[in-house]
């Protein structure tokens, strides 16, 4: 299976994604993006130093320069690219994937993402070619963007005095910045899994998997904190738990952000096909324009930019902001939610209850080879509602809806169901799940 995916290049180090590929990507990326440089940031995975060394060699052999911004988060690259005027940027990370993985997230000018249909397929073909060393090799130029990045994201920080917060960066890259951002913010702050260790010794760095959030939930309850905040491995995603230790579905967290952001500008808010209709209702209540997009950061960023929207979000915990180059940022999302909680005289659980009006399944995964066949079977059985095929199949009925789609990153069929009450939800989840399981091949 190719390591060139829908949104990035990703795979197990030494199996498809290796030092030779890193060299080739480095060599051919300047050609692909018509650039004389490549800005590179990287996470702290064990394979990153070797991949970085070989990628730099490729860039230099092409006659282009490396702009090295060091070990950082993915949002740091999204900040540094436009700030430094980079035409080609790359973050070396495999996000939440286990330690044996690594990958490359590529952006062009203005932090615009390069997906499979917008350049990665061409890069895949280029990488099959041979590299010849340029007569005038490039050079490595180091850029220290830390202070500028800290100042940039601090624009979203508000008065957090009186708030009790627990942070879990999952031993991932947000640990590089958290203490500097929050140690003097006036809040009572506790950190767990702060040390950057991309072997992820305490739990997988994926806040969408509920078992990974248990440690944070327990710490919030133990300390009587107002909120828990968890980042994924490269810190472009964030998730929250309330003061009772209850997990907040990321689409509902988007709904929580809506009012404060639409108070700035009554603009478009982007949401993905798996989003609760409660969020759509909240966008309309606050005077915004809701617009659905396909799942994936490549699609969300493009649509948000096209609409000049102010805010976007996905069920995976990506939140996108106009003033962040239309890119996703876990820390900006955290600042906004923390500010809302700090300003309110009600607990987070009550604020969420105002929005979360419906019974919601979350994402249910089925491992299957015959994904297209299964989607057709489900659609043929459950076809009496309003049909939408923007991303997989979404069918809306009067009192419930479902979305079923193929994952672009993993070998799964993903199902989401929402209903007006728990009884309907349980009935529909059971019926669709049994139909899928009985036809898996």
Backbone angles phi, psi at 406, to 5 degrees: -85, 135
Query: Does 95 participate in catalysis according to the annotation?
Result: yes
Residue 23, classed as helix, strand or coil, is helix
Q: Angle CA(29)–CA(411)–CA(55) in degrees, nearest 5?
A: 20
Sort strands 9-12 and 101-107 into parallel, antiparallel or unpaired.
antiparallel
The number of beta carbons lying within 10 Å of the beta carbon of residue 133 is 12
14: left (phi over 0), alpha (psi -120 to 50) or beta: left
Instruction: Give how far the C-alpha of residue 62 lies from the chain's centroid of Cα atoms, to the nearest Å.
Output: 31
Rounded Cα distance, 426 and 419, in Å: 9
CA distances from 24 to 3, 18, 302 (A): 13, 10, 27
Let me know: does 235 contact 174? Beta carbons within 8 Å. yes
CA distances from 170 to 163, 183, 234, 365 (A): 21, 18, 10, 23
Instruction: Give how far the C-alpha of residue 299 lies from the chain's centroid of Cα atoms, to the nearest Å.
Output: 12
Residues 6+ positions from 290 with CB-CB distance below 8 Å: 268, 269, 271, 279, 280, 283, 284
Residue 81, classed as helix, strand or coil, is helix
Q: Which residue has the tokens 């987070």?
A: 348
How many Å is the Cα radius of gyration of the chain?
Answer: 22
Instruction: Give how far the C-alpha of residue 126 lies from the chain's centroid of Cα atoms, to the nearest Å.
Output: 28
Rounded Cα distance, 13 and 27, in Å: 19
By CB atoms closer than 10 A (0-12, 13-18, 19+), residue 228 is buried
Out of 47, 48, 62, 95, the active site residue is 95
Rounded Cα distance, 78 and 421, in Å: 40
CA distances from 412 to 32, 282, 372, 405 (A): 31, 31, 11, 9
Active site amino acids: 95
């Amino acid at each position: 299976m190719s390591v060139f995916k829908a949104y990035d290049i990703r795979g197990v180090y030494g199996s498809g994604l290796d030092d030779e590929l890193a060299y080739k990507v480095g060599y051919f990326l300047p050609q692909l993006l018509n650039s004389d440089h490549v800005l590179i940031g990287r996470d702290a995975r064990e394979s990153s130093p070797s991949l970085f060394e070989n990628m730099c060699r490729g860039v230099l052999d092409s006659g282009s320069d490396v702009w090295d911004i060091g070990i950082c988060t993915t949002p740091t690259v999204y900040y540094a690219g436009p700030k430094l005027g980079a035409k080609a940027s790359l973050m070396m990370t495999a996000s939440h994937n286990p330690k044996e993985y690594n990958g490359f997230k590529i952006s062009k000018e203005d932090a615009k993402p390069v997906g499979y249909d917008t350049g990665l397929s061409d890069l895949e073909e280029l990488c099959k070619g041979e590299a010849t060393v340029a007569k005038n090799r490039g050079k490595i130029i180091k850029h220290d963007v830390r202070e500028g990045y800290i100042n940039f994201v601090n624009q979203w920080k508000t008065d957090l005095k009186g708030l009790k917060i627990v942070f879990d960066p999952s031993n991932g890259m947000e640990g590089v910045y958290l203490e500097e951002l929050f140690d003097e913010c006036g809040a009572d702050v506790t950190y767990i899994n702060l040390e950057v260790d991309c072997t992820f010794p305490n739990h997988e760095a994926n806040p969408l998997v509920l078992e990974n959030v248990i440690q944070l939930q327990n710490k919030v309850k133990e300390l009587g904190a107002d909120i828990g905040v968890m980042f994924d491995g490269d810190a472009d995603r964030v998730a929250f738990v309330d003061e009772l230790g209850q997990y907040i579905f990321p689409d509902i967290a988007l709904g929580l952000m809506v009012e404060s952001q639409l108070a700035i500008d009554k603009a478009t808010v982007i949401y993905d096909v798996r989003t609760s209709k409660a969020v759509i209702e909240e966008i309309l209540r606050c005077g915004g324009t809701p617009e659905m997009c396909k799942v994936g950061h490549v699609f969300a960023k493009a649509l948000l930019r096209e609409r000049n929207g102010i805010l976007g979000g996905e069920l995976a915990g990506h939140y996108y902001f106009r003033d962040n180059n239309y890119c996703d940022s876990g820390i900006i999302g955290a600042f906004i939610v923390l500010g809302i909680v700090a300003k309110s005289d009600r607990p987070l659980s009550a604020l969420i209850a105002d929005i979360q009006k419906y019974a919601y399944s979350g994402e249910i995964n089925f491992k299957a080879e015959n994904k297209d066949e299964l989607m057709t079977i489900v659609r043929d059985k459950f076809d009496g509602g309003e049909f939408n095929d923007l991303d997989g199949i979404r069918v809306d009925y009067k009192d419930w809806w479902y979305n079923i789609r193929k994952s672009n990153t993993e070998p799964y069929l993903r199902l989401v169901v929402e209903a007006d009450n728990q009884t309907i939800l349980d009935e529909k989840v059971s019926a669709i799940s049994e139909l899928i399981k009985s036809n898996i091949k």
